Each structure stands twice: as structure tokens, then as C-alpha cells.
């Protein structure tokens, strides 16, 4: 088991190195920091432009291999360099990463937990009212683009606030600027700002996981081993929880890991719409500014999250499935 985990971890490290390197390559090819200065009026001397680009290690006239070796060496030491405004990328990274993680982790946990529960109950109560209503709701959410869902929730939040005559749902920012109150009051303020963005992410996850879990659970309910458990005298509930649920949840581990990447993509829209200055919003603004180092930092962050989720999924699958442990 420990050998299996070690091999999967080494695989995770290797894939992170490849993904972050490819991200830097694509950013260097697609973005043109020099264009930010060449269009200036009055014109900026070429020597001044080169000096700025060399300081950030983004001068397109320097061979790519030279720039990559310098960038990779700095990243291995935990340094993502400077942006085009000569600010340290690490400082912006450390501020924004926790903003995104609050949304992503909370949205993921809510989405996965509620989605799995709904999927299991829907399968057990197939074609009953609960199954049909949750299926209809899930298909509606899945057919709605993430940005449209975020805007719709924001609109409904504003209408709800107008109806009750006070602000319950905050629709802009992470917290109320200048808010002065107790620690509990500040926590409540941040929580109110968190509700709508989290729902924007969680609703899609709930719908996604519930549909997949329902189909998986239906396969398990009609399986031979569950019928054998019932024939041995176990009640339907005992057979379901002791033998069925564990088998049905196992495939969700891998599904959860790689569905995480979709959440990160959706978070970029959610952060922009709700004014949360997280990694997704930073990526969009960095691309607009042709900021290679900032884009590379966000790509590395995304690669670490997605691939580490895959690593955890492999470990969880090994714990849940004895066949994986025996092969390990």
C-alpha cells in the first residue's frame, strides 16, 4: 500500500512539472508583452522596453530555452518572478490563492456531499417524485452556463434583498470594506458574501455528481452480490449500506478528481461576476495584460490542484477497493 502511494505521488510530481512547463510554453508563445509598449505614444525607446522585459524574464528576443531554464530554476525555489508592473508575483499569488480556495473547497465539498446523497436517494426511489424532481432540476442546472447561473443567482439575491428591505445576500466583494464589528460579526459578514458565489459553483457540482451517482447506484442495486446479501437474510437497508454504497461510491473518487478542473474554470467566471479577486479573475486580467509570469503561476496552481485531487482519488480508491490494495 505504501509503495502504491509513493508511486502515485511521484507520478503526481512528474505531471505537475510537465503541466506547469507546458503552461509556461503556451503563455510565452501566445502572449506578447512587448506589444504593451510598442503601441505607446510617444514611442518608447527599444532599449527601455528590453530592459523592462529582461527584468521580468519575458523578452521574446532572448532564446526560449534560456528564459525557460531561468524560470524553472526560480519556480523550483518558490519564486514566480515579477509581473510587467514590476510587482512580485508571489505576493499577489499568496493573497489571491486563499480567496479561490475558499470558494473551490467549500463549493466542492458541498457539491460532492449533497450530490452523492441525492444520487443515492434518487436511485433507491427510482421514478418516484423525489427522483423525477431532482432529475429535472439537475438537467436544468447542467444546461445553464456557469456565468449565466452566477448572474441569475446575483439577480435573485438582489430581488430577495429588495423584498425583505435589507441586505442579506451580498453580491459584490469578499467582505464589506470598512466594516467595524466583533470577530463574530466579521465572520458573519464574510459568510454572507460567500453564499451566492459558493452556490454558483456548488449547484453545478450537485447536479453533476447526483446524476452520475444515481446511475452508478442503479447498477449496484441490480448486481448479483447485493441480491446474494438479501438472500442471506440482510434487510434492504443493511445490504445497501454494508455492501452496495461502498461499491457505488468507489468510482466517484476518480470522477471527483477530474471534475475539479471544471470547477476551476467555472470559478474564473464566478470570481469576476461577484468581484472576488481570486486566481480565476487574476488569470483573466493577466491574459489581457500579456503577463506571462502571472499566467504561468495560475497554470501551476491549477495543475497542482487538479493533479493532487487525482492523487487523493487514487489513495481513496485504494482504501475503498480491496482489489486496488491487492494489486498495490
Neighbours of 10 (CB within 10 A): 10
Q: Which residue has the cell 487525482?
A: 310
Three-state secondary-structure class, residue 278: coil
- Tens-of-pLDDT digits for all 328 residues of the chain? 777 778 888 888 899 999 999 999 999 999 989 888 887 778 888 888 888 889 889 998 899 999 999 999 999 998 998 888 888 999 999 988 888 888 888 888 888 889 988 988 898 888 899 999 999 999 999 898 888 999 999 999 999 999 999 888 988 888 888 777 777 888 888 888 889 999 988 898 899 889 888 888 888 777 777 777 777 777 767 777 776 777 777 777 677 766 766 677 778 888 888 988 888 888 988 999 999 999 999 999 888 888 888 788 777 777 766 666 565 5
Q: What are phi and psi of 81, to 5 degrees?
A: 85, -155
Query: Which residue, 247, 153, 155, is CA-closest to 204?
Result: 153
Which own/partner pairs from 171-178 qualify as long-range (CB within 8 Å, at least 24 positions apart)?
171/196, 171/274, 172/274, 172/275, 173/274, 173/275, 173/276, 174/99, 174/276, 174/277
Q: Which three cell numbers stand for residue 66?
A: 534560456
- On average, the pLDDT of the chain sits at 84
Q: What are phi and psi of 314, to 5 degrees?
A: -65, -40
- Dihedral sign, Cα of residue 224, residue 226, residue 232, residue 236: negative
Instruction: Show the domains of the chain with their CATH numbers.
Output: 2-327 (1.10.3720.10)
Predicted pLDDT at 257: 67
Predicted pLDDT at 156: 93
**Cβ neighbourhood burial of 288 (10 Å; 0-12, 13-18, 19+):** exposed
pTM, full prediction: 0.79
* Torsion angle of C-alpha atoms 200, 128, 228, 321, degrees rounded to 10: 0
Amino acid at each position: 500500500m505504501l509503495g502504491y502511494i509513493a508511486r502515485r505521488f511521484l507520478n503526481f510530481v512528474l505531471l505537475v512539472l510537465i503541466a506547469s512547463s507546458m503552461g509556461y510554453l503556451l503563455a510565452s508563445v501566445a502572449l506578447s508583452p512587448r506589444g504593451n509598449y510598442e503601441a505607446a505614444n510617444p514611442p518608447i525607446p527599444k532599449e527601455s522596453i528590453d530592459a523592462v522585459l529582461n527584468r521580468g524574464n519575458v523578452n521574446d528576443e532572448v532564446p526560449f530555452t534560456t528564459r525557460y531554464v531561468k524560470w524553472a530554476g526560480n519556480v523550483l525555489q518558490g519564486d514566480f518572478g515579477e509581473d510587467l508592473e514590476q510587482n512580485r508575483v508571489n505576493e499577489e499569488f499568496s493573497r489571491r490563492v486563499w480567496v479561490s480556495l475558499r470558494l473551490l473547497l467549500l463549493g466542492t465539498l458541498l457539491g460532492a456531499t449533497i450530490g452523492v446523497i441525492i444520487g443515492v436517494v434518487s436511485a433507491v426511489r427510482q421514478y418516484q417524485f423525489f427522483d423525477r424532481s431532482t432529475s429535472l432540476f439537475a438537467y436544468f442546472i447542467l444546461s445553464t452556463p456557469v456565468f449565466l447561473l452566477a448572474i441569475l443567482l446575483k439577480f435573485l439575491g438582489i430581488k430577495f434583498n429588495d423584498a425583505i428591505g435589507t441586505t442579506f445576500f451580498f453580491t459584490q466583494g469578499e467582505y464589506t470594506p470598512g466594516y467595524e464589528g466583533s470577530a463574530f460579526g466579521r465572520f458573519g459578514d464574510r459568510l454572507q458574501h460567500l453564499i451566492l458565489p459558493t452556490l454558483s459553483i456548488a449547484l453545478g457540482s450537485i447536479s453533476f455528481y447526483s446524476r452520475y451517482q444515481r446511475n452508478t447506484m442503479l447498477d449496484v442495486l441490480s448486481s448479483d452480490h447485493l441480491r446474494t446479501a438479501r438472500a442471506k437474510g440482510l434487510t434492504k437497508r443493511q445490504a445497501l449500506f454494508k455492501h452496495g454504497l461502498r461499491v457505488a461510491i468507489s468510482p466517484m473518487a476518480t470522477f471527483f478528481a477530474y471534475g475539479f478542473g471544471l470547477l476551476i474554470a467555472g470559478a474564473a467566471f464566478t470570481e469576476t461576476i461577484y468581484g472576488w479577486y481570486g486566481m480565476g479573475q487574476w488569470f483573466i486580467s493577466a491574459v489581457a495584460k500579456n503577463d506571462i509570469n502571472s499566467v504561468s503561476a495560475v497554470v501551476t496552481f491549477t495543475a497542482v490542484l487538479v493533479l493532487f485531487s487525482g492523487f487523493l482519488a487514487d489513495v481513496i480508491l485504494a482504501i475503498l477497493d480491496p482489489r486496488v490494495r491487492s494489486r498495490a
